[in-house]
Amino acid sequence: MDTILVRGNGPLNGEIPIAGAKNACLTLMPATLLTEEPLTLTNAPRLSDIRTMTELLGSLGAEVASLQDGQVLAMSSHDLTSHTADYEIVRKMRASNLVLGPLLARFGEAVVSLPGGCAIGARPMDLHIEGLMALGAEIDLQDGYLHARAPRGLKGAVYEMRFASVGATENIVMAATLAKGTTVLKNAAREPEIVDLVRCLRAMGAQIDGEGGSTITIQGVDRLHGATHRVVTDRIELGTYMLAPAICGGEVTCLGGRIELVQSFCEKLDEAGISVTETPRGLTVSRKNGGVRAVNVTTEPFPGFPTDLQAQMMALLCTAEGVSDLEETIFENRFMHAPELTRMGARIEVHGGHARVTGVERLKGAPVMATDLRASVSLILAGLAAEGETLISRVYHLDRGYEKVVRKLRGVGADIERIKEPTAHD
């Protein structure tokens, strides 16, 4: 199993290119199922999750060609051979359930496995199901699979979600593009990835209004056509790399970044004493006069502070002056990185969905273990500012959401390397 070795070596300076958004691309790829014509995505990130979605679409009979070193995905669903998303693929990635709405809308049937360990009443899939049933779908759960049918096609409806779920919003919007009549989705999620999906669907001929707000209106059409669409910048990768000079000092420009993607995050950085300047090329980040100040953070749905930047922000606050309180309101068990940061000398107390971080003068390198995608990169950030060596294990999580992380950080002066696991014949 690969590890990543980080040696703290002072300020970082230079430029980091920010990739296309993983969460946007994983939503855009299933949109190919809505049309028999080609859909091409540019600025695609090169990640293991993208390969998993490629595998899933291929299992349905879709064609997905990876071009230009993986940054262009040319897709076609003109001749699907299956409407079943198998558990062996779906279990690898929750976003796999986004094939449900498109398959149901275009073909009137879909069989999609629930993600591993998912119970409808306890996980967000209940909102997907309720929304699609409001459009006229019949959905049953059998042996861990959702069996969905709409033999007479989907019909527009007014549906208000109990919670602004991103995935449910995406599934319902895609399904409604081919429904008969008008669908009004209330309490919709507002994330930039949803705005990006709507822009792509509109380029394919969909009639949609209201994206970026809490009410989205979709006028169903008979068919969608092909299109070429550029994937929006990854706001989570953007925020992650913005924290590198905040933690280490120096000045880094994140190419392609825009403040509108990370507005609430930028406000917290400003409060902590970090300068963010928008230029035509991206966002330039550096410390203001002095060190980092403690701030309180509460995660919220967009446009609030992103849950996917909470772990990285905690790494910054470990050496901030004062005491910071972090509240996680989106996901449970999202402080699993805290014990690993504590191994590096951080002072963190966790009580349920709250964490209190008392800043220390300096972190110290230690062997640590990544527990999930965002935790893994938070440990890298902490290691960049720590004294000595930090060895991070289980970094396969990292490959799901960050492409070429070692190369990008080396490019701004970080002392970081990936240590490959020896093969049996080495």
Distance CA 227, CA 225 (A): 7
- Catalytic residue, chosen from 118, 200, 266, 318, is 118
Q: What is the C-alpha to C-alpha distance for residues 77 and 84, in angstroms, rounded to an integer?
A: 14
Axis-axis angle for helices 125-134, 100-107 (nearest 10): 20
Residue 137's nearest CA partner among 166, 107, 97 is 107
Distance CA 350, CA 328 (A): 11
Long-range contacts of 328-331 (CB under 8 A, 24+ apart): 328/299, 328/353, 328/354, 328/355, 329/298, 329/299, 329/300, 329/353, 330/299, 330/300, 330/301, 331/307
Residue from 273, 277, 303, 305 nearest 288 by CA: 273
Structure tokens at 57: 């679409």
Question: What is the amino acid identity at position 12?
Answer: L
How far apart are alpha carbons 192 and 197 in whole angstroms?
Answer: 9
Across 98-249, the runs of DSSP E, i.e. the strands, are: 109-113, 138-142, 145-149, 158-160, 182-186, 207-209, 215-219, 227-230
Which residues, in sequence order, are CB contacts of 46 under 8 Å at separation 6+? 19, 69, 70, 71, 403, 404
Residue 110: strand pairing partners: 148
> Do 401 and 47 form a contact (C-beta atoms < 8 A)?
yes
Whole-angstrom Cα Rg for the chain: 22
Q: How far is CA 120 from the centre of its chain?
A: 22
Residues tagged in the binding site annotation for UDP-N-acetyl-alpha-D-glucosamine: 94, 123-127, 308, 330
Q: Which residues are annotated as a binding site for phosphoenolpyruvate?
A: 22-23
Among residues 327, 330, 335, 336, the alpha carbon closest in space to that of 354 is found at: 327
Annotated binding site: 22-23, 94, 123-127, 308, 330
CA-to-CA separations, 248 to 32, 194, 338, in angstroms, rounded = 42, 33, 20
200: annotated active-site residue: no
Q: 336 phi and psi, to 5 degrees?
A: -70, -15
Strands (E), 31-94: 39-42, 63-67, 72-76, 84-85
Q: Which are the catalytic amino acids?
A: 118
